[in-house]
Amino acid sequence: MPPLITREEALALGELEDRAAIEALIERAGQARVERFEDSTDMCSLVNAKSGGCAQDCGFCAQSRFAEAETPLHAMMEPEQILEHARAAEAAGAHRFCM
């Protein structure tokens, strides 16, 4: 599916400063959401299964061991712990579970 707007259009929207234009954009975004998804929501749950110390050097990510961020470190959770979190997320109504 092709994007609904170009990259340049998206960047221009991010630069809006006129309050009326921003409010119009927010209103139109709300209308588009209702047109596409009606009044539904889709809850997702996230668990930090492993924190910090990643060997990758992604410049944007605080999880990298090369990052300057003070990210708390903990090893990968045991599979049973992750499964426990996933079951709790499902019981709470989550449709997706991310690690």
Distance CA 57, CA 68 (A): 11
Average pLDDT, the chain: 91
Segments of the chain with pLDDT less than 70: none
Q: Are the beta carbons of 97 and 49 closer than 8 angstroms?
A: no
Tens of pLDDT along 49-73? 998 888 888 888 888 888 888 888 8
Between CA 85 and CA 5 the distance in angstroms is 37
Q: What confidence score (pLDDT) does residue 96 get?
A: 94
Q: The pTM is what?
A: 0.56
Structure tokens at 2: 């092709």
With 0-12 CB in 10 A as exposed, 13-18 as middle and 19+ as buried, what is 47?
middle
